[in-house]
DNA sequence: TGTCATAATTGGTCGGACCACCGGGCCACC
DNA sequence: GGTGGCCCGGTGGTCCGACCAATTATGACA
């Protein structure tokens, strides 16, 4: 039994999360005015400073727009927010949005291929060795949760090898989706993981075969996508 | 003559931007402790509340990690932050990072293809008509800045047509890169824009030809990438 | 030398005050 | 009828000073 990290949370974080969930779950519609800072402070029974800190957070998530003297409004976050919202949009109020998950995995297929292809182009021996080690650890794992983590580590190593920092940032954002909704993705791993595509990817990357690596990784992504239906 | 919107800024935003730039430009290295809230307030000559609001923002950008009683440390943002940092990483301290721009455009090629392909699969007549209108406006424009905006609008319409909401969030993030560094990308448009790929994309999307649409849009992205060298 | 209570440091929360800005209503003026 | 000036209540922005809570440094003691 491993203990979870105890998450200590500040009041402002809790408020931000509460209001954030209210917004993404549709309790507030884009354009709606938020209660005033003083009203929120009253409602939550906390100080206005804490509310303000929470609002700053909501603002930087792209969820609300604050105007001096005129209050805060819920913004049209689907056209202003970035991927940092995805973890919370995926299962608002505990209810999974299957279409959104499908969209994510669909895009992931593309990114997996892109990543593997560029990793093959730019790989150097030590990195390839590290990738092989990742694969070894993955194949040795039995616990579902470990498999999940190590599978992601394999992909992460490919991202590093690709040398594309924009891709790295993008993959950070996607990693958060996994972390926030770990249970959601565990279904992709029940009944064991076929590491065949991983092995073929490793081989192709080792030979600098970008086309092969891309195909192998895309195949893996597509199979995960297929398992969703 | 159109007047620009006057942008009013709060103190906390200014502080957040200042510290953010100091971090991404390397003045602080990941792991470094930030000055204490009280010290920052003194240094900037402002109140501690404003500093705290700024720190919340930096925290939600993934740039710093705050621990009760122990101060704030700069986090290893390249492995924790998401795409929302990209606009500022691209030209820290006014100096362009050409490799990062290359990485972005390289990834963009992939995304353009993905977007066009899926748009072709899911397009309906009114959306296609709107896409045609986008192309019309683009070809009618003469001002470089207008071309830049309308070129992006064409892509944005493809994103909408693809029906992939994750892609939409991703493209929001990338849009911010354009907006924050508009001048940087204007070079891609000097000497006019060849709208041939756009026209071929429109045609392919209209016929539901995913492969053709993907190829046309990828070609366009690759040409932009080539112009960078 | 190692341990542990304690003090100092630092972030978290609070209450209250005042300023800056927005929106709407009102009114004089053209 | 329309325009601009003016005022006023509501709301966000900033400040101050105080105290609480967690961490870290300190130093006495065994």
Which residue in chain B is spatially nearest to A117 when comparing CA positions?
A: B110
> Cβ contact (<8 Å) for A166 and B86?
yes
pLDDT at A199: 94
Residue A6, pLDDT above cutoff 70: no
| In the predicted structure, residue A1 carries a pLDDT above the cut 60 | no
Q: What pLDDT is stored for residue A7 in this prediction?
A: 60
Give the pLDDT confidence of B86-132 residue by residue, as tens digits: 999 998 888 889 999 999 999 999 999 999 999 999 888 999 999 99
CB A228 within 8 A of CB A189: no
A11-81 CATH pick, 1.10.10.10, 3.30.70.100, 3.20.20.70, 3.30.300.30: 1.10.10.10
What is the CA B126 to C1' C8 distance in angstroms?
69
Cβ proximity of A40 and A34 under 8 Å:
yes
pLDDT at B141: 87
- Distance CA(A83)–CA(A121), nearest Å, equals 27
Residue A56 has pLDDT above 90, yes or no: yes
Q: B165–A53: do the CB atoms touch at under 8 Å? A: no
Domain(s) labelled CATH 1.10.10.10 in chain A stretch across 11-81
- Helix (H) and strand (E) counts for chain B? 11, 2
Q: Which of chain C's bases lie under 7 Å from a protein CB?
A: 9-17, 20-23
CA distances from A199 to A108, A129, A139, A192, B52 (A): 19, 13, 10, 15, 49
- Count the neighbouring beta carbons within 10 Å of the beta carbon of residue B32: 12
| Band of residue A2 on the pLDDT scale cut at 50, 70, 90 | very low
d(CA B10, CA B46): 12
Give me the phi and psi of B165, to 5 degrees please.
-70, -30
- List beta partners, residue B229: none
CA triplet B211, B216, B222: central angle to 5 degrees? Answer: 120
pLDDT tens digits, A66-110: 999 999 999 999 999 999 999 999 988 888 899 999 999 999 999
Query: Rounded to whole angstroms, how far apart are CA atoms A120 and A200?
Result: 12
pLDDT in tens, A197-212: 999 999 999 999 999 9
Residue B103 confidence (pLDDT)? 96
Measured in Å, how far apart are chain A's first and last C-alpha atoms? Answer: 33
Nearest CA in chain B to A87: B166
Q: Between A and B, how many CB-CB pairs are < 8 A?
A: 118
If one compares A229 and A189, the residue with the highest pLDDT of the two is A189
pLDDT of A33 strictly over 90: yes
Contact B103 A173 (CB under 8 A): no
Q: Are strands B71-74 and B64-67 parallel, antiparallel or unpaired?
A: antiparallel
To which residue do tokens 């046309």 refer?
A: B216
Alpha-carbon torsion (B27, B18, A18, B174), positive or negative: negative
Give CATH 1.20.120.530 domain extents, chain A.
86-228
pLDDT in tens, A40-51: 999 999 999 999
Q: Looking at the domain that runs over A86-228, which CATH code has it been given? A: 1.20.120.530
Q: What is the pLDDT of residues B18-52, one digit of tens each?
A: 999 999 999 999 999 999 999 999 999 999 999 99
Measured CA to CA, the distance from residue B41 to residue B51 in angstroms comes to 6
Give the span between the Cα atoms of B52 and B34, in whole angstroms: 12
Q: Mean per-residue pLDDT for A158-170?
A: 96
Confidence of residue A178 (pLDDT cuts 50, 70, 90): confident
Kindly report the average pLDDT of chain B as a whole number: 91
């Amino acid at each position: 039994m491993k203990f979870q990290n105890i998450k200590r949370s500040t009041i402002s974080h809790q408020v931000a999360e509460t209001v954030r969930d209210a917004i993404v779950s549709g309790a507030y519609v884009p354009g709606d005015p938020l209660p005033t800072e003083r009203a929120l402070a009253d409602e939550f029974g906390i100080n206005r400073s804490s509310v303000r800190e929470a609002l700053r957070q909501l603002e930087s998530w792209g969820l609300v727009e604050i105007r001096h003297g005129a209050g805060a409004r819920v913004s049209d976050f689907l056209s202003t927010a970035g991927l940092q919202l995805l973890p919370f949009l995926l299962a608002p109020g505990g209810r999974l949005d299957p279409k959104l998950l499908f969209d994510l995995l669909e895009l992931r297929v593309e990114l997996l291929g892109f990543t593997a292809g560029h990793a093959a182009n730019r790989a150097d021996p030590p990195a390839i060795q590290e990738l092989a080690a990742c694969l070894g650890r993955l194949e040795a794992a039995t616990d579902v949760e470990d498999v999940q983590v190590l599978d992601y580590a394999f992909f992460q190593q490919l991202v590093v090898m690709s040398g594309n920092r924009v891709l790295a940032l993008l993959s950070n954002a996607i990693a958060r989706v996994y972390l926030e909704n770990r249970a959601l993705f565990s279904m992709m791993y029940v009944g064991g993981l076929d590491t065949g595509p991983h092995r073929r990817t490793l081989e192709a990357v080792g030979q600098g075969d970008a086309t092969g690596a891309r195909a192998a990784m895309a195949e893996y992504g597509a199979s995960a996508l297929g398992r969703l239906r």
